[in-house]
Structure 1
Amino acid sequence: MTTAHDTATTELLAPLHAADPADLDRLHAAFVAAASAEGDLDVAYRTVDSPVGLLLLAATEAGLVRVAFQREDHDAVLERLATAISPRILRAPARLDTVARELDEYFAGIRQRFDLPLDHQLSKGFRRSVLAHLPEIGYGQTESYAQVALAAGSPRAVRAVGTACATNPLPLIVPCHRVVRSDGSFGGYLGGTEAKQLLLHLEGAA
């Protein structure tokens, strides 16, 4: 499937399918460097393996803008980013090296808080207020949807909190997995119930 994020790269490499993979990697790196230098790289992305599956990471110059689980369909996520932010999207792992390293440290149990610049342009209104509160829920702690609604300034907006968590563009980094039902059950999660359970067990919250 050809998507907008790598059309230019595909066209550039089309005559070189028989070339050495290392040569293609160098050519791609040169293409990315040129695009970045000329201001033509608005969204960089890469994928990383993790205990909760393959993750797509995407960043603008302002910061990390999207983390997507494999079940979300990474190609579809990139297409939506092309529409919502810019079609100038390229696989450019270097911009996301720090994100990948901090995620590795988190899953290894040696990092409890992320120290990353974030781009929140995909979240608006009350949803953004909810997501702004979530990092205040400490590592190894949980809050109910009702508690989050109260903290976000709308005590009756429990369902809206659930929607904000379900559409969180930065899961893991903005820890919506720490929001559970009032009875202590896990509730829904963008990455799936098993992923949420794994994260809470990793943090000692379940």
Structure 2
Amino acid sequence: MTTLLLLQSELSTPLGKLILMHDESGNLRAADWDEYAARLPALLQRQYRDIDLKIQPHVTTKAHLNHERFTRYFDGDLHALEAIPLQLGGTDFQQQVWLALRHIPVGATWSYKDLASFISRPKACRAVGTANGLNPVAIVLPCHRVIGSSGSMVGYASGLARKRWLLQHEQALTSTQSSLFGIY
């Protein structure tokens, strides 16, 4: 069995402490908030089924560059995360959904139906929603930009309050929507 060493680091953000998992090459493999850190190993094991995962705390120079990119994003450089190198596990379908998320422009939102249509699977809205919920690198692959077909704020593994904050940060919510979703 192949072994994959993941280097875990932490980053303070306006939304709380973010746990980052990089491989030795500096590719981001997973990101989640501190209060959900316990679910990371199981999430990763589901995505890398035939690989023995070893996790240890360590920050490499390449991981530090990604920390800086996250900091720039939270400071207002909304395109800073686009430069973060990723290496994803998961099924071919999950990867297709996750990579399609990068096509949602900053400041915009898509519905699950829009995302399903984008990957040429217009009837797979529920499967797209399931894959979206398993996104291992939320924010970088912006699943927070996916909303319900009615424009409603639905599902986000890190909580709807974070989703609202991220959309407001990216100016994807109008003032009317912000009021409806309790941001103002």
TM-score computed with the length of structure 2 as normaliser: 0.82
Gaps of at least 5 residues in structure 2 are 174-184
In structure 2, do the counterparts of structure 1 residues 161 and 81 end up closer, same or farther at CA, with 3 Å as the change threshold? Answer: closer
In the other structure, the counterpart of 1:93 is: 59
Gaps of at least 5 residues in structure 1 are 1-39
After TM superposition, give the deviation of residue 183 of structure 1 in Å: 1.1
CA contact (8 A) 1:102 1:111 kept: no
The answer to whether 1:200 aligns with 2:164 is: no
After TM superposition, give the deviation of residue 88 of structure 1 in Å: 2.9
The answer to whether 1:77 aligns with 2:30 is: no
Task: Tell me how far apart the structure 1 counterparts of residues 10 and 4 of structure 2 sit (CA, whole Å).
Answer: 17
Task: Tell me how far apart the structure 1 counterparts of residues 4 and 115 of structure 2 sit (CA, whole Å).
Answer: 36
After TM superposition, give the deviation of residue 89 of structure 1 in Å: 2.1
Task: Tell me how far apart the structure 2 counterparts of residues 70 and 165 of structure 1 sit (CA, whole Å).
Answer: 20
Between the two proteins, the alignment pairs up a number of residues equal to 165
Task: Tell me how far apart the structure 2 counterparts of residues 134 and 80 of structure 1 sit (CA, whole Å).
Answer: 19
Task: Tell me how far apart the structure 1 counterparts of residues 137 and 4 of structure 2 sit (CA, whole Å).
Answer: 21
Between the aligned residues of both structures, percent identity stands at 30
CA-based RMSD: 2.0
CA contact (8 A) 1:45 1:96 kept: no
In structure 2, do the counterparts of structure 1 residues 137 and 97 end up closer, same or farther at CA, with 3 Å as the change threshold? Answer: same
CA contact (8 A) 2:4 2:52 kept: no
Task: Tell me how far apart the structure 2 counterparts of residues 151 and 111 of structure 1 sit (CA, whole Å).
Answer: 23
Structure whose CA Rg is larger = 1
In the other structure, the counterpart of 1:55 is: 18
In the other structure, the counterpart of 2:126 is: 159
In the other structure, the counterpart of 1:116 is: 84
In the other structure, the counterpart of 1:66 is: 30
TM-score computed with the length of structure 1 as normaliser: 0.74
CA contact (8 A) 2:111 2:146 kept: yes
CA contact (8 A) 2:78 2:106 kept: no
Task: Tell me how far apart the structure 2 counterparts of residues 188 and 41 of structure 1 sit (CA, whole Å).
Answer: 30
- Look up the equivalent residue of 1:66 and give its one-letter code: A
* Structure with greater helix percent: 1
After TM superposition, give the deviation of residue 148 of structure 1 in Å: 0.3
CA contact (8 A) 1:130 1:164 kept: yes
In structure 2, do the counterparts of structure 1 residues 47 and 184 end up closer, same or farther at CA, with 3 Å as the change threshold? Answer: same
